[in-house]
Amino acid sequence: MTELLQQVRVIDPVSEIDGLFDVLIADGYIQAVASRISDIGSDTKIRDCQGLILGSGLIDLYSHSGEPGFEERETLLSLLQAAAAGGFTRINILPDTSPAIDNPALVAQLQQKRGGEMRRMREIREKEKINLAPPASPLPLLYLWGAITLDVAGKQMTELADLASAGVVGFTDGKPLENLALVRGVLEYLQPLGKPVAFWPSDRQLTANGVMREGSDALRFGLPPIPASAETTAIAAMLELVATIGTPVHIMRVSTSRSVELIASAKAAGLPITASTTWMHLLLDTKAVKSYHTSLHLDPPLGNLHDVAALRAGVRAGVIDAIAIDHTPYSYEEKVQAFAEAPAGAIGLELALPLLWQYLVETGEFTALELWRALSSSPAECLGQKVSAIAPDQPAELTLFDPQQTWKVERKSLYTLSQNTPWFGQQLKGRVVQIWC
Q: Which of 331, 421, 398, 419 is nearest to 88 (CA)?
A: 398
Q: 184-190: long-range contacts at Cβ-Cβ below 8 A with a sequence spacing of 24 or more?
A: 184/241, 184/244, 184/245, 185/157, 186/148, 186/157, 186/160, 187/241, 187/242, 187/245, 187/247, 187/249, 188/245, 188/247, 189/157, 189/160, 190/160, 190/247
Q: With 90 as the cut, is the pLDDT of residue 84 above it?
A: yes
Task: Report the distance separating Cα 389 and Cα 323, nearest Å.
Answer: 20
Asked if 324 contacts 62 with a C-beta cutoff of 8 angstroms, the reply is: yes
Better pLDDT: 129 or 187: 187
pLDDT for residue 122: 63
Give the number of other CB atoms < 10 A from CB of residue 125: 14
pLDDT in tens, 240-266: 999 999 999 999 999 999 999 999 999
Of the listed ranges 46-60, 147-161, 222-236, 352-366, the one predicted with least confidence = 147-161
End-to-end Cα separation, the chain, in angstroms: 14
In the predicted model, what is the mean pLDDT of residues 399-427? 98
Q: Is the dihedral of CA 164, 169, 171, 172 positive or negative?
A: negative
Task: Report the distance separating Cα 341 and Cα 212, nearest Å.
Answer: 12
Instruction: Indicate the burial class of 126 (C-beta count within 10 angstroms; 0-12, 13-18, 19 or more).
Output: exposed
pLDDT for residue 41: 84
pLDDT for residue 151: 65
pLDDT for residue 123: 63
Q: Which of 170, 166, 172, 169 is nearest to 147 (CA)?
A: 172
Task: Report the distance separating Cα 99 and Cα 198, nearest Å.
Answer: 20
Strand order in the sheet with 322-324: 198-199, 249-251, 273-278, 322-324
pLDDT for residue 130: 42
Q: What amino acid occupies position 34?
A: A
pLDDT in tens, 94-153: 999 999 999 999 999 999 887 777 676 666 655 554 444 444 458 999 999 999 998 655
pTM of the model: 0.95
Task: Report the distance separating Cα 254 and Cα 298, nearest Å.
Answer: 12
Instruction: Indicate the burial class of 287 (C-beta count within 10 angstroms; 0-12, 13-18, 19 or more).
Output: middle
Strand order in the sheet with 170-171: 58-63, 88-93, 141-146, 170-171
Q: With 90 as the cut, is the pLDDT of residue 199 above it?
A: yes
Q: With 50 as the cut, is the pLDDT of residue 194 above it?
A: yes
How far is the CA of 125 from the CAs of 11, 107, 122, 135, in angstroms? Answer: 31, 28, 5, 12
Domain 57-387, CATH: 3.20.20.140
Strands 88-93 and 273-278, bridge-based pairing: unpaired
Q: With 50 as the cut, is the pLDDT of residue 337 above it?
A: yes
| pLDDT band with cut points at 50, 70 and 90 for residue 66 | very high
pLDDT for residue 24: 97
| pLDDT band with cut points at 50, 70 and 90 for residue 352 | very high
Please identify every residue annotated as catalytic. 326
Average model confidence (pLDDT) for the chain? 94
pLDDT for residue 1: 83
In the predicted model, what is the mean pLDDT of residues 409-427? 97
pLDDT in tens, 13-43: 999 999 999 999 999 999 999 999 988 888 8
Asked if 224 contacts 210 with a C-beta cutoff of 8 angstroms, the reply is: yes
